[in-house]
Amino acid sequence: MSTPALETHDLSVSYRGKPVLHGVDIEIPYGSLTGIMGPNGAGKSTLLKAIMGVVEPDNGWVKLLDKPLKQVLGRIGYVPQRESVDWDFPVTVFDVALMGTYAGLGWFGRPGKRHRARAMEALEQTGMADLAKRQIGELSGGQQQRTFLARALAQDAEIYLMDEPFAGVDAATERTIVHLLGRMRDTGKTVIVVHHDLQTAQRYFDRLLLLNMRVVAHGPTEEVFRPDVLETTYGGKLTLLSDIAARSARGEGGRKQ
Amino acid sequence: MTALHSALLAALLLGIVSGLLGSFVVVRRMALTGDMLSHAVLPGVVAGLAWNTTRNPLLVLICAVLAGVVGSVTMNGLLRHTRLKPDAVLALVLSVFFALGIAMISRVQPAGVQAFLYGQVAAIDQRDLLLLLAVTAITVTVVPLAFRSLSLVSFDASFARLLGFPVRFFDIAFFLLLTVVIVIAMQAVGVVLVTAMLVTPAAAARFCTHSLAKTTAISCAIGAVGGIAGVWISASRDSLPTGPLMALSTTLLFAAAALLGPRRGWLPTLLRRRSESHRIAGEDILKTLWLREEAPGLIQPLIFKEGLLKKLAAAGLVHRTATTVDLTPTGRDRAAMLVRSHRLWERYLTEYAAYKTDHVHDDAERAEHWIDEARMALLATKLGNPALDPHGRSIPSIDKEVNT
């Protein structure tokens, strides 16, 4: 079997001292479009953060493109959750798209004509070219998401991590995003998307990773998208798992000697 | 160089360097961190002054930066290991370090500490000036060169890290430079007003532009002008302290930017709104005249504002005599477009948004002024080019408009 594009092994992560993910093993093949799904607090965003190295895992490891993250920087793309962006920041739509071309420019390098053309082309693909000069706070939710998608396209990465790109967007944008994600997958990119909407999951993704503090199910959509699996994923937290983990993290309330 | 000259030079350099760093402080939302630092360095300043009696500014600076580092490490430790919110942690560190500094002052009473507490541009000597010159030179070379990287790291640190930018290194370098500038600025304006010098110029610049590069440039200019003005005013009047005057004149510039800044200033916003409301009132006149032609006798009498009519006549949209007002052919086309927007929008609301027909008029009164040609075409196609609005009145067609 060929090596997966993304592999995690026994990954356990705490967030602010609270264990969120337990022993996550995943293998995501190259050229696939994967949706990460699960209820609120299931650890979806935390998993993404652990993969990106933003939070340190308590245990286990992550390999991207068969290497640790440090060796593949620049080849991993990222679309942040909308709430985590400072929309008042003084940058234009074009500036954001241009950031996608910064990999390999170094500290003092300046983007040239080629980079600008790449950014503009990406904006055209997401239908944002006309708004290139707008400050990002002056956009609608859908336009904001398209802007960051353009940055991802301009980057031409190999693996893309996207945190809820469908949250709060209009129907037209949703179609555009689905179309673009499909095209990225078809050109061999590996796309991993945190997604919220069960209604659309089956149509949008090749593979699903159902998460609720641990991996409930992981595989091709038609195998995983089953009532019993969804029931396990969404049927409430594993109270005992989170309870014991939290107590051990706090280091209190243990058995009396 | 006279005392006034060196004071002016110091104010100029300080204005530039704090304006430059300040714009990053503001967009990175670190204003309170700057405030914390200005207080946290005090124990270091006192130790430095007590330790070397020649008052070597470099040594004082090093001690102060060390204290700033300790303060910031304490802050990060508290943030990570307790559940305290950032504002509480900042206030805690700020006050504890400041208290320590004051206690040290009463104990050792080092010479020259007054300048750091209250600010005293006159106390800035040749050696201080050289240090300031060096720091300014480094800042104005490095920041523009690394501007792109700095703005990326400030805007989206996670993405920058994934691209391979050494975000931690950037953060530490920025923090150290900020501490150095704060320590130097303290001597001019005092511990409390440092934040004013850092934050006010950049906050003012935010009213003027939505480009980070321009924000930085404007912020530098405001810092420099405010600083020089402060020194100059305090020199020309007796017994006016320099530091507060620098802060006050910068604040005056801030007020001017808040009033007049083209991006979000009060006056430009007001003018924009006014011109929009004039456009809407003018369009309403055209529409009323058109409706009078559609159903004569239904709408009267007509009383319009003289000023608006004059403008419409000047634009060739209406034709006036002493007693009558009529649409010109161009005016009639424009009015037809508005009525078309209005009625298409009413159709849209009833068909797609499940409005009842007696609920749509008010909404359409507003919407008609904001539907451009592209959106009107989209509406018409979506609705299948309807001939009638929900009330049974005909929707004017656009055939005449095709070639205009």
Asked if the Cβ–Cβ distance from B146 to A54 is below 8 Å, we say no
Asked if the Cβ–Cβ distance from B152 to A102 is below 8 Å, we say yes
Partner residue opposite A90 with nearest CB, options B27, B148, B161: B27
Asked if the Cβ–Cβ distance from B162 to A74 is below 8 Å, we say yes
Given a cut of 50, is residue B37 above it in pLDDT?
Answer: yes
User: Is residue B402 very low, low, confident or very high in pLDDT (cuts 50, 70, 90)?
Assistant: very low
**Facing residues of B318 across strands?**
B327
Q: Is residue B169 within 8 angstroms of chain A, CB to CB?
A: no
Pairs of residues, one from chain A and one from chain B, whose beta carbons lie less than 8 Å apart: 68
Asked if the Cβ–Cβ distance from B164 to A76 is below 8 Å, we say no
Chain A residues with CB-CB distance to B145 below 8 A: 107-108
Asked if this assembly's ipTM is beyond 0.90, the reply is no
**Facing residues of A162 across strands?**
A79, A193
Tokens (6 digits) for B184: 């130097």
Asked if the Cβ–Cβ distance from B209 to A80 is below 8 Å, we say no
Q: What is the DSSP string of B332-376?
A: HHHHHHHHHHHHHHHHHHHHHS---GGGHHHHHHHHGGG--HHHH
Name which of B80, B148, B163 to mutate to probe chain A: the one with the most chain A Cβ atoms within 10 A of its Cβ.
B163
Q: Is residue A92 within 8 angstroms of chain B, CB to CB?
A: yes
Report the pLDDT value the prediction gives residue B300, as an integer from 0 to 100: 61
| pLDDT tens by residue, B164-215 | 888 999 999 999 999 999 998 888 888 889 999 999 999 999 999 989 999 9
- The CA distance from B102 to the nearest CA of chain A, in Å, is 35
A106 three-class SS: coil
B99 compared with A255, residue with greater pLDDT: B99
Report the pLDDT value the prediction gives residue A54, as an integer from 0 to 100: 87
Name which of B28, B30, B81, B158 to mutate to probe chain A: the one with the most chain A Cβ atoms within 10 A of its Cβ.
B158
Partner residue opposite A73 with nearest CB, options B83, B155, B164: B164
Give counts: helices (H), strands (E), chain A: 9, 9
| pLDDT tens by residue, A184-236 | 999 999 999 999 888 888 899 999 999 988 898 999 998 888 888 888 888 76
Report the pLDDT value the prediction gives residue A96, as an integer from 0 to 100: 96
Asked if the Cβ–Cβ distance from A99 to B155 is below 8 Å, we say yes
Partner residue opposite A74 with nearest CB, options B154, B155, B163: B163
Q: Is residue B159 within 8 angstroms of chain A, CB to CB?
A: yes
Chain A residues with CB-CB distance to B165 below 8 A: 102, 107
What is the spatial distance between Cα A89 and Cα A103, in angstroms, rounded to a whole number?
Answer: 21
Residue of B nearest to A17 (CA): B81
CB-based contact B363:B355 (threshold 8 Å):
yes
- The CA distance from B393 to the nearest CA of chain A, in Å, is 32
Q: Is residue A86 within 8 angstroms of chain B, CB to CB?
A: yes
Give whole-number Cα distances, A31 to A47, A116, A155, A182, A187, in Å: 20, 27, 17, 10, 7
Asked if the Cβ–Cβ distance from A74 to B151 is below 8 Å, we say no
Q: What is the pTM of this model?
A: 0.83
Given a cut of 70, is residue A254 above it in pLDDT?
Answer: no
User: Is residue A104 very low, low, confident or very high in pLDDT (cuts 50, 70, 90)?
Assistant: confident
Give whole-number Cα distances, B349 to A9, B162, B391, in Å: 54, 46, 13
From the list A85, A163, A103, the residue with the least C-alpha distance to B27 is: A85
User: Is residue A238 very low, low, confident or very high in pLDDT (cuts 50, 70, 90)?
Assistant: low
From the list B139, B160, B145, B192, the residue with the least C-alpha distance to B28 is: B160
- The CA distance from B182 to the nearest CA of chain A, in Å, is 24
Give whole-number Cα distances, A20 to A240, B143, B158, in Å: 13, 40, 20
- The CA distance from A157 to the nearest CA of chain B, in Å, is 10
Chain A residues with CB-CB distance to B152 below 8 A: 99, 102
DSSP H helices in chain A: 44-52, 93-99, 113-125, 141-155, 171-186, 198-204, 221-224, 227-234, 239-250
| pLDDT tens by residue, B43-98 | 999 999 988 777 788 899 999 999 999 999 999 999 888 889 999 999 999 999 99
What is the spatial distance between Cα B47 and Cα B44, in angstroms, rounded to a whole number?
Answer: 5
CB-based contact B51:B66 (threshold 8 Å):
no
Given a cut of 90, is residue B160 above it in pLDDT?
Answer: yes
| pLDDT tens by residue, B272-302 | 999 999 999 999 999 988 988 888 766 666 6
User: Is residue B401 very low, low, confident or very high in pLDDT (cuts 50, 70, 90)?
Assistant: very low
Which run of H or E residues covers position B34?
Answer: helix B31-40
Q: Is residue A172 within 8 angstroms of chain B, CB to CB?
A: no
CB-based contact B120:B243 (threshold 8 Å):
yes
What is the spatial distance between Cα B232 and Cα A71, in angstroms, rounded to a whole number?
Answer: 56
Given a cut of 80, is residue A131 above it in pLDDT?
Answer: yes
Q: Is residue A246 within 8 angstroms of chain B, CB to CB?
A: no
Q: Is residue B179 within 8 angstroms of chain A, CB to CB?
A: no
Tell me the average pLDDT across B222-229. Answer: 95
| pLDDT tens by residue, B234-244 | 888 877 888 88
* Phi and psi angles of residue A27, each rounded to the nearest 5 degrees, phi first: -135, 115
From the list A156, A99, A151, A103, the residue with the least C-alpha distance to A126 is: A151
Pairing of strands A33-37, A207-211: parallel
Given a cut of 60, is residue A86 above it in pLDDT?
Answer: yes
Tokens (6 digits) for B324: 């009558």
Give counts: helices (H), strands (E), chain B: 18, 2
Contacts of A145 by beta carbon, 8 Å cutoff, 6+ apart: A79, A82, A165, A166, A168, A169, A173, A177
Q: Is residue A74 within 8 angstroms of chain B, CB to CB?
A: yes
Across chain B, what does the average pLDDT equal?
A: 89
Contacts of A85 by beta carbon, 8 Å cutoff, 6+ apart: A136, A144, A148, B156
B316 three-class SS: coil
A53 three-class SS: coil
CB count, 10 Å around CB of B282? 21
Chain B residues with CB-CB distance to A76 below 8 A: 162
As a whole-number percent, the residues of chain A with pLDDT over 70 amount to 91
CATH topology for B265-404 is Arc Repressor Mutant, subunit A (1.10.10)
> Domain residue spans in chain B?
3-262, 265-404
Asked if the Cβ–Cβ distance from B212 to A91 is below 8 Å, we say yes
Report the pLDDT value the prediction gives residue B63, as an integer from 0 to 100: 94
| pLDDT tens by residue, A40-64 | 888 899 999 999 988 889 999 999 9
Report the pLDDT value the prediction gives residue A241, as an integer from 0 to 100: 64
Give whole-number Cα distances, B128 to A17, A111, A251, B37, in Å: 46, 38, 53, 20
For residue A55, the 8-state DSSP code is S
From the list B273, B190, B211, the residue with the least C-alpha distance to B23 is: B211
User: Is residue B376 very low, low, confident or very high in pLDDT (cuts 50, 70, 90)?
Assistant: confident
What CATH number was assigned to the domain covering residues B3-262? 1.10.3470.10
Q: What is the DSSP string of B50-99?
A: HH-TT--HHHHHHHHHHHHHHHHHHHHHHHHHS---HHHHHHHHHHHHHH
What is the spatial distance between Cα A123 and Cα A98, in angstroms, rounded to a whole number?
Answer: 10
Residue of B nearest to A160 (CA): B162
- The CA distance from B130 to the nearest CA of chain A, in Å, is 27
Given a cut of 60, is residue A253 above it in pLDDT?
Answer: no
As a whole-number percent, the residues of chain B with pLDDT over 70 amount to 97
Pairing of strands A159-163, A6-15: unpaired
